[in-house]
Amino acid sequence: MAEVGNILQWTFVSECEIPSDVEEVLAPNEIAVAAYKTFRDSAVFTNKRLIVRDAQGITGKKVEIYSLPYSSINMWSTENSGKLFDLNAEVELWTRAGHIKISLQKGVDVRKLDRIIAQAVCK
């Protein structure tokens, strides 16, 4: 995870299986919907929030968990990748916690993320 000013930035590398140990941090009636590999760990979208796990240090044994409830999202935007020079898509979230930018590497379906966020926020 990288911070620039008050902007949180993450990169989702590819979609992956939902990690089995995510169950230990889920609330009652919370269901994991999709998971994405980040550079050092994973991000999980549930029906209630976005959970980003960030392994730290040389060994990666220290783990920081970011939890963003969808109820804190005020606005979001998605941008699909271009054809030749712009290969990455992006998701930006404006929340009560601040501005969050998520870069999506080639192959990550930006429209799927758009649907997951819309379904949770626009109930």
Does residue 21 surpass a pLDDT of 70?
yes
Helix (H, G, I), strand (E, B) or coil at 81: coil
pLDDT in tens, 72-112: 999 999 998 766 555 689 999 999 989 999 999 988 999 99
Report domain extents, the chain: 2-121
- Pick from 87, 47, 42, 82: which is nearest to 66 by CA? 42
Number of helical H runs and strand E runs in the chain: 1, 10
| Mean pLDDT of all residues in 2-12 | 70
CATH class of the domain whose range is 2-121: mainly beta
Q: The pTM is what?
A: 0.86
Residues near 99 by beta carbon (within 8 Å), at least 6 away in sequence: 6, 7, 8, 92, 93
Residues near 80 by beta carbon (within 8 Å), at least 6 away in sequence: 89, 110, 111
- Two tokens at 51? 């959970």
- Two tokens at 15? 């979609």
